[in-house]
Amino acid sequence: MNDFSNAIKVTASGLHAQATRLRHLSENIANADTPGYQRKTVAFEAVRAGTGEPTTVSTGPVLLDPTDGERIFEPGHPLADESGFYEGSNVNLLIEMADSREAQRTYEANLKMFEQTKEMSRGLYDLLRR
Amino acid sequence: MFQNMQVLDASIALAKNAGRRQAASAQNLANADTPGYKALRVSTFQASFDSASGQQIKTTRSQHTGRAAPFAFQDQIVNRTSADPNGNAVNLEEEMMEAAQAKSDHTKALSIIQSSLKILRLSLGKS
């Protein structure tokens, strides 16, 4: 029985981590046209609680991608410098979409695992019923 | 009749093993995107059954019941070479497969327990 509660705990941590990642990805996508915006990235970290405890997952600190943003030529823009360029965001929509696909896939796998664990423990309880 | 209890022992061990395997797959799936994470594997029931059945206590009379050695499971950390660029060694499809297998083993074990209990109850004169 302890295994099932461990599994549910671990799965819940996975769901939470993927949801956090998806939130940062949608922030990046929403700010794809914001001048000077740096895309946010989160790394996953394995949390080892001790022997007998499951290794849960959590998101690490939010980091900013230091690469330079796209230089856009628009002399009439209020942020444009003397050469007529201004710096856009460094968000690459393709990367964000691919990342969110991966997050979705893992999220769904975790959700399926959650349901399956629930079903298994329900089967165990059904033994007590006559 | 009491020899039959070994059926219960074995099926309980199978259910436990299925639970452990399910927990291991859940952990692997949760860490499917964690850099440097190594997949966890629990040895199958078949492997532990084979190693345990050799250590059964010998009985001198057929009326004596020999207790089988308890089934032991070990967690193994899988070191796979074909890891992702970030050092993660979890294969999503393999884990889903493992979880499905654990689920079917668990259902199997619970069915055996249920029918054994039914037989016991029947032999006690209750329906």
pLDDT tens-digit readout, A36-48: 899 999 989 888 8
A119 to chain B: which residues are within 8 Å by CB?
A: 103
Interval B102-121 mean pLDDT: 91
pLDDT band at A128 (very low <50, low <70, confident <90, very high): confident
Do the chains contact at B23 and A18, CB–CB below 8 Å? no
pTM of the model: 0.81
If you measure CA to CA, which chain A residue comes closest to B108?
A123
Do the chains contact at B33 and A102, CB–CB below 8 Å? yes
Do the chains contact at A4 and B19, CB–CB below 8 Å? yes
Task: DSSP for A13-40, please give it.
Answer: HHHHHHHHHHHHHHHHHHTTTSTT---E
Percent of chain B with pLDDT over 70: 74
Task: List the domain boundaries for chain B.
Answer: 2-123
Give the domain range for residue A107: 2-126
If you measure CA to CA, which chain B residue comes closest to A5?
B23
- How far A66 CA sits from the closest chain B CA (Å)? 20
Percent of chain A with pLDDT over 70: 98
pLDDT tens-digit readout, A18-41: 999 999 999 999 999 888 899 999
- How far B66 CA sits from the closest chain A CA (Å)? 27
* Contact residues for B38 (Cβ-Cβ < 8 A; gap 6+): B77, B78, B79, B80, B89
How many independent structural domains does chain A possess?
1
pLDDT value, residue A55: 86
Q: Which residues pair with A57 in a beta bridge?
A: A46
